[in-house]
Structure 1
């Protein structure tokens, strides 16, 4: 069964001394599994080592809460879900929940106990982490929340809210424990399916797309804005500098500035997924997280690293700024 990614909001105000210490101890400094082999059960440590072959991972935990208020929420979380850390009116860190388990003794060793004597025993390991700097006000507006709503306790967003945030921030999947698959059940479900095998996909017609490409493409071929290669028009697309889904109507109509030509041989994808961005003045910046994908790192090193593009202009800078803030994969804050 395919896992539907949901987003978990994890309140963690680093302006609070204890929270910041926990963040330093198990996020900035990943937890080494073998140092806790005496209190980790065999199945958990085996799964952790399969997911993280280097033997360490960033970890966090949740207290049961008064009258176990958090337990029902925790049970709705699954490996493969994204989690956002929020505090001091910003979302500042996130990643994929790779594995979940409960271990009171380990949580106490790592983080101690709170004023009520509880510990963060519902634990999870994180993969694919990155830094953010998104005002909570922007997320409230995007999701239609009350302007005064805050993240007071751990909570799981709805599928619709999760999809909207995923679109805003281009969240890629990362390593996570796989749910067991009942092959016979899956095959029976397919055999019993009597609905339509083909459906007509409906999508909003991008009325400005053809006009954008005509404006950007001069003749039968042109240059990719990022790598600078001259290519036939069939291999170049009008790539929005700021994610189109997040553009206002006026921004979509700003044909002179909103888009750039990007090649389909890799530049469009690495920009879209935030492994490169463009800084003021046009220099290409490379995500510090790209080394986790050697093939992507090799492409960027060969084609894009150390380049300054001619496409940057002051008129386009607000759109590049949006990309740097929302899409570019920053290192987790230390």
Structure 2
């Protein structure tokens, strides 16, 4: 899975109009049945049973400069929309197709008389609030590098950014990897001769043990999110801000960098961005959880609870989580 950087500055009135028409407001398949090819419509309805999807497109560009780029994109890749010095929106590319007539109906034509005919439908969309400066630093770009023109990150940079933003494939993505092959998996395991435990993990585990002792001095403790009092074995010293991006000073700030979260669901829900803590300490649930009923039921049990763990000193770390990890709704 690779990441596609899609320039779309909403300060441009035309871009904003297109965004409002086909991203903020999903496109109904029935409304455009006269133009949608039967196989495309069938696939869209398979991926989006409610009959609509958020759509975007790419123009061929001068001398078809974008065509070779588009051909590198696959279903399951992530599209990140950028504009006005921020990454503000993301989604999984569920389907790609070419449709000049539909693109012209949806978005018209640009000043070069081209339309955004290389179209894609997005699932699992979410709002983000990441500065381009952060992306430059994370990917070791030059200070003056900007996102101009559609750009596909290589595999390593895609994985770095995907991990940083906790991006996960949408539940609507039915183009998943093939079923596992037990025989090949077993052969791969037997043939692996690398380190099973890296030395670097020892210091990390030592730090985690000390952090948990600080947060949990007794045999039981209270989960910061659900409030259940549980034995120590079911409680995790969960970093409020992703540990991988914490400074050394933040990692050593045991009083503020972490909280107790239970292994009965709360730790995973927070780590993967399905719940977050607002400024003031109230739990907010991700609208993306609605795609999976069982998940939605879990997050709704937490939504609206006041987190006693929240404080002014911890708020900067919760703010980082809201901006970088929480799966927010699509910006209007």
Normalised TM-score (structure 1): 0.92
Counterparts of 1:64-83 in structure 2 under 5 Å? 64-83=60-79
Q: What is the match of residue 41 of structure 1?
A: 37
8 Å CA contact 1:99, 1:177 repeated in 2: no
Deviates more, 1:102-111 or 1:272-281: 272-281
Deviation at 1:288, TM superposition (A): 2.9
Deviates more, 1:198-207 or 1:143-152: 198-207
Deviation at 1:189, TM superposition (A): 7.2
Q: Could you say if the C-alpha distance between residues 180 and 143 of structure 1 is closer, same or farther in structure 2, counting changes exceeding 3 Å?
A: closer
1:8 paired to 2:7? no
Separation in 2, partners of 1:288, 1:189 = 38
Q: What is the match of residue 316 of structure 1?
A: 314
Q: Secondary structure at the match of 1:100?
A: strand
Separation in 1, partners of 2:177, 2:245 = 36
8 Å CA contact 1:8, 1:82 repeated in 2: yes
Deviation at 1:181, TM superposition (A): 5.7
Q: What is the match of residue 257 of structure 2?
A: 258
8 Å CA contact 2:76, 2:176 repeated in 1: no
Instruction: Render the CA deviation track for 1:125-168: whole Å, top value 9, x for unaligned.
Output: 00000001111111111111011111111011011111111121
8 Å CA contact 1:277, 1:320 repeated in 2: yes
Runs (5+) with no aligned partner, structure 1? none
Separation in 1, partners of 2:136, 2:112 = 31
Separation in 2, partners of 1:29, 1:193 = 46
Count of aligned positions:
327
Separation in 2, partners of 1:70, 1:180 = 27
Separation in 2, partners of 1:253, 1:182 = 43
Separation in 1, partners of 2:177, 2:275 = 36
Q: Could you say if the C-alpha distance between residues 266 and 196 of structure 1 is closer, same or farther in structure 2, counting changes exceeding 3 Å?
A: same
Q: Could you say if the C-alpha distance between residues 55 and 208 of structure 1 is closer, same or farther in structure 2, counting changes exceeding 3 Å?
A: same
Q: Secondary structure at the match of 1:126?
A: strand
Counterparts of 1:294-305 in structure 2 under 5 Å? 294-302=293-301, 304-305=302-303
Q: Secondary structure at the match of 1:19?
A: helix
Separation in 2, partners of 1:239, 1:179 = 30
8 Å CA contact 1:167, 1:245 repeated in 2: no
Deviation at 1:194, TM superposition (A): 10
Runs (5+) with no aligned partner, structure 2? none
Q: Could you say if the C-alpha distance between residues 156 and 214 of structure 1 is closer, same or farther in structure 2, counting changes exceeding 3 Å?
A: same
Deviates more, 1:25-34 or 1:203-212: 203-212
The 4+ residue runs of structure 1 with deviation greater than 4 A are: 179-183, 186-195
Counterparts of 1:267-278 in structure 2 under 5 Å? 267-278=266-277
Q: What is the match of residue 128 of structure 2?
A: 132
Instruction: Render the CA deviation track for 1:304-328: whole Å, top value 9, x for unaligned.
Output: 2221121112221111111111111
Q: What is the match of residue 162 of structure 1?
A: 158
8 Å CA contact 2:28, 2:51 repeated in 1: yes
Instruction: Render the CA deviation track for 1:265-285: whole Å, top value 9, x for unaligned.
Output: 111011111121112332222
Separation in 2, partners of 1:134, 1:109 = 32
Counterparts of 1:169-248 in structure 2 under 5 Å? 169-174=165-170, 175-178=172-175, 196=191, 200-203=195-198, 204-205=200-201, 206=204, 207-248=206-247
Say what the alpha-carbon RMSD is for the aligned residues: 2.2
Normalised TM-score (structure 2): 0.93
